[in-house]
Structure 1
Amino acid sequence: MEDLTEVITGAEFHPRECNLFVYSSSRGIIRLCDMRQSALCDRHCKVFEEPEDPSTRSFFSEIISSISDIKFSHSGRYMLTRDFLNLKVWDLQMDNKPVETYPIHEYLRSKLCVLYENDCIFDKFECGWSPNDDHLLTGSYHNLFKITSRLSRRDAIFESSREQAIRPRQILKSKKVLPSARRNRRDEINPDSLEFTKKILHCAYHPTDDIIAIATAHNLFTYIAKDPSSPLSS
């Protein structure tokens, strides 16, 4: 284990080309393999990696760059990856950087020391594509999950709570995580009050309908969008 510098963290076959698959690593690298070249697949045909900015390098850089989940888009043209702080969309034709980057909980960057001490920094969050590849889904802490529109670049944060299990079919209201959050506002959450023991690691989009499944520690929730064109009405 002392000599281990990189481990595979995820793998998935291409949805249309049965000979292609990708796998991700703890170093934030994605490798594309073609089984037509070799059945053993001990060599990759393309590597996707974003160069690191030396000015932002820290003790946590390698840990937070580890890819926890990877998913092909339904069209097969793009890949979606999740690391600790970001969602990234990669074009199969561009291997030097992602074409889209969406911060998930940038407000936790200043709390990496705390997250390292309680081992939360090693949590593996999943991600997913909507049926039309126009929205992205992933989870966070405090039982929060985020839906992002690739068209408008707008996102919405929602909370899965026990109240929803008691009163199903209620319309969710989006929330904001702000350092200046006011206590009397139910739609605002201060980053200092986040509960790291409550987390949404597992989530999934329905393959054809605007329905999502969210798993907390003790409950499984399903949500349906009233307006498929916008995640803000989910």
Structure 2
Amino acid sequence: MESHPVQTINVHDYLRPKLCDLYENDCIFDKFEVSISGDSTTGGIKAMTGSYNNYFHIYNTQEPSYETILQADKNAFRALKVPNAFGNTSNGNAVSSIGRVGVPKDGKNGIKKDDINPDTMDYGRKILHSSWHPREDTLAVAATNNLFIFTYY
């Protein structure tokens, strides 16, 4: 049996300068779940965890240098025009594409870690719960009083 971690991924390095503030606001005790994808058809098993400001991080466990940071925010979907059963367009979509899961850290399909400013984050908005579908590239993210379902196309 292993006596040390098999892999370590530093998720919240950008929060180090705010550690005292997080402790004073009891945020230091927040427990972000980690969800592991099933046998993925898109290049490896992925791990996902939540963060503050409704951000969530997706990591490819085979290639730890690949990371995607996304935000579960319904305002991002308001401008989305989706045809309904009658051919009309309406705002919103229950299933949203997250693009290619496992994009390089240059942030081409997500948020760059360098662009996250801990001073402007809303620490009341956090993603504590998430779950991957056991056989599909679909994940559910609980953000405040909303449930977001993302899938890979």
TM-score in terms of structure 2 length: 0.74
Q: Determine the structure 1 residue equivalent to 2:55.
A: 144
1:215 pairs with 2:142: yes
1:189 CA displacement:
2.9
Counterpart mapping for 1:138-177 below 5 A: 138-153=49-64, 154-164=66-76, 166=78, 167-168=92-93, 169-172=95-98, 173-177=109-113
1:150 CA displacement:
1.1
1:128 CA displacement:
1.0
Judge which range, 213-222 or 163-172, deviates more: 163-172
For 1:121 and 1:176, locate their aligned partners in 2 and report how far apart those are by CA, in whole Å.
23
Change (3 A) 1:210 1:171: closer
Structure with the greater alpha carbon radius of gyration: 1
For 1:222 and 1:171, locate their aligned partners in 2 and report how far apart those are by CA, in whole Å.
9
Amino acid at match of 2:112: K
Provide Cα deviations, 1:37-76, integer angstroms capped at 9, x if missing partner.
Answer: xxxxxxxxxxxxxxxxxxxxxxxxxxxxxxxxxxxxxxxx
For 1:177 and 1:223, locate their aligned partners in 2 and report how far apart those are by CA, in whole Å.
20
Q: Determine the structure 1 residue equivalent to 2:101.
A: none
TM-score in terms of structure 1 length: 0.50
For 1:137 and 1:106, locate their aligned partners in 2 and report how far apart those are by CA, in whole Å.
16
For 1:206 and 1:128, locate their aligned partners in 2 and report how far apart those are by CA, in whole Å.
10
- Preserved contact between residue 96 and residue 150 of structure 2 (Cα < 8 Å): no
- Which of residues 123, 127, 130 in structure 2 aligns to 1:200? 127
Judge which range, 161-170 or 133-142, deviates more: 161-170
Counterpart mapping for 1:39-188 below 5 A: 93-94=1-2, 96-132=3-39, 134-153=45-64, 154-164=66-76, 166=78, 167-168=92-93, 169-172=95-98, 173-178=109-114, 188=115
- Preserved contact between residue 96 and residue 151 of structure 2 (Cα < 8 Å): no
* Percent of pairs with identical residues: 39
- Preserved contact between residue 177 and residue 191 of structure 1 (Cα < 8 Å): no
Q: Determine the structure 1 residue equivalent to 2:152.
A: 225
- Preserved contact between residue 164 and residue 170 of structure 1 (Cα < 8 Å): no
For 1:148 and 1:121, locate their aligned partners in 2 and report how far apart those are by CA, in whole Å.
22
Q: Determine the structure 1 residue equivalent to 2:116.
A: 189
Counterpart mapping for 1:3-42 below 5 A: none
Aligned residue pairs: how many?
A: 124
Judge which range, 159-168 or 116-125, deviates more: 159-168
1:202 CA displacement:
0.4
CA RMSD of aligned residues (A): 1.7
- Preserved contact between residue 133 and residue 139 of structure 2 (Cα < 8 Å): yes
Q: Return 5+ residue gaps in structure 2 as ranges.
A: 79-91, 99-108
